[in-house]
Amino acid sequence: MAKTEEKINRIKELVEILNKASDSYYSKDEEIMSNFEYDALYDELVALEEECEIHMANSPTSKVGYAAVDFLPKETHEKPMLSLNKTKSVEELSAFVGENEALISWKLDGLTMVLTYENGELSKAVTRGNGEVGEVVTPNAKTFVNLPLKIAFKGKLIVRGEAVISYPDFEKVNEAIDNPEDQYKNPRNLCSGSVRQLNSEVTASRHVRLIAYTLVDIEGKEFVKKSEQVEFLSSLGFETVEYYVETGKSIADRVKYFAEKIKDYEIPSDGLVVTYDDIEYSQGLGRTAKFPRDSIAFKWQDETAKTVLREIEWSPSRTGLINPVAIFDTVELEGTSVSRASIHNISVMEGLELGIGDEILVFKANMIIPQIAENLTKSGNYTVPGTCPCCGGKTEIRAIKEAKSLYCTNEDCPAKQIKKFSLFVSRDAMNFDGLSEATLEKFVEEGFVKEYSDLFKLSRYKDSIVNLEGFGEKSYNKLIESADKALDVSIANFIYSLGILNVGLSNAKIICRAFDNDINKVIAATYDELAAIDNIGEVIAKSFTQYFLKDSNMLSVRNLLELVRMRKEEAADLSGELAGKTVVITGSLNLFSNRKDLVAAIELKGGKAASSVSKNTFILVNNDIESASSKNKTAKELGIPIMSEAEFVSKYLD
């Protein structure tokens, strides 16, 4: 068992290493290992996967396609999924376990799933639903980053687990959503929406994990203990829930262990689950009308602290939303000092009847997020500011989704501009080096920058900039030099820099090529023209045309066009043999200085580059045609031509 576990851990390690190397190479144009190293590790992974008969969903050897459906079919579970009785008392938990041995584990806060494997392969994935009937989400489950698609056990196996999204991944998703009103409230909501998508590509982008905790049914194999079942699932490659076997005497100490660990635990958890380890004993207990008798959920007893509300701070954001934040006398909660808590919106303020000087009870939701539990004095003497604390502009209360929130009405509010300017100067946009968000914030506050073109007219404020804290003559000269370099820009990077909703760099390239890289044609593009372009569609077409219909945006763009030196881009040739074809490049290059340049040449011929060989690959470019690399092997197995760089260039790029 130990040897098998070592090999499974090595499989997971190799998957992580190879995916990181591939992402660095293709997304960031950085090599963190040689091709020789990559191929050696890839071959080791292939051998281990074949030996252990385990294939993870996120393995570079697994080619999981994305599927889209019109609806999620319903299915009745073979065994109903009951809720658990709950307690917040450790004493009650100890009494429940008594002299028996019981498993204690995390109660994960995600979306419960039932997965069926047949002949060693994942055949079905169904959500919990109402416990009796769930939704079939098999294509989505196949994109879970840690889920084994193939396992060594060939009989029928049904496993129950929790689909979860970690706090760091949850934050990354929300950071990419500009409007706070559209951001997800917690990881559980995000996970539920991600798993139940009609397009599995969206699920794949959310980094969903599956943590298994129960073996529901297995064909031809019996176990005495539930702990044995969990270990068996682990030996098949599943990530399993952390658990310990305890008795009534020892369980209180284990609860303390989990209570301490949750402070830094990255997976959302709203408590613990305790279940008897002996399977025969558990089955003999049966169930009540609502709960199984062999298990109980322990919910965290929220630690509260009484304090005094001293201030309500109003924090503006780039969307204009001004968030209220409670500032109170510092208290200790769950081992940390807390003096601030988000109030979310004006409706919550009204419900709590908040006022300065009120006595309030505060707690940490799920032992992590500070919130106000109760207002003990309810003075209701709060005031909503009539002007924005950032720009002094007029504010207004708007009701969105039945919740009242405060907004700044000033379109030129500096708080709304920082993120916009930050994207504008980024590497994939104007590539204006040396302008951090902190520097941009200073320039906006000082009045140096009001629109994009002002960033290229900073020489007007030389004396002021030189005398700013952290600046000087040398810093100023570097800044002006960077500004001049940034004026040389490609049309696609220019369009991306404008921050048009839903238009990333790849979409900008597609749109610009469709209009022969002519900036005037791109700006004047109609909705119908844009919607007709492959991979663009109605949503992007709408946001693109709406952007250029706004007078202030057009003025800003025209002012920029008077300054920038637009690099002439060749139009993609969509009539040649490479049009619409996928090319994979591996190994070192002789004719091109780097892989990025070769990819650009392929794109000019209407083709596209991919990171791995599949049945959709048109050609594999490799200067070592006879190498035993994994890409060469796969290409030969699939009958895909392997060409040297020189041969490929001569045939398709000249």
Which positions are annotated as active-site residues? 107
Torsion sign over Cα 85, 90, 91, 97: positive
**Cβ count within 10 A of residue 500:** 20
Pairing of strands 148-150, 157-164: unpaired
The DSSP code sequence of 115-182 is: EEEETTEEEEEEE-TTSSEEEB-HHHHTT-TT-EEE-S--S-EEEEEEEE--HHHHHHHHHT-S-GGG
Residue 362 near residue 371, CB atoms below 8 Å: yes
DSSP 206: T
Number of helices followed by number of strands (H, E) in the chain:
24, 27
Helices 226-235 and 2-27: crossing angle in degrees, nearest 10, is: 50
Distance of CA 387 to the CA centre of its chain: 35
End-to-end CA distance of the chain: give it in Å, rounded. 57
Kindly write down the DSSP assignment for every residue of 429-446, as one continuous string: TT--TT--HHHHHHHHHT
Q: Which segments of 191-294 are extended strands (E)?
A: 209-218, 239-240, 243-246, 269-276
CA atoms of 553 and 547, how far apart (whole Å):
7
* Amino acid identity at 302: D
Residues 6 or more apart in contact with residue 612 via CB below 8 angstroms: 22, 60, 63, 584, 631, 634
Tokens linked to 585: 């490049």
Tell me the backbone φ, ψ of residue 306, rounded to 5 degrees: -90, 135
- Which of helix, strand or coil describes residue 516? coil
Q: Which of 111, 123, 102 is nearest to 219 (CA)?
A: 123
Angle at 166 between CA 274 and CA 299, to 5 degrees: 30
Find the length of the chain: 654
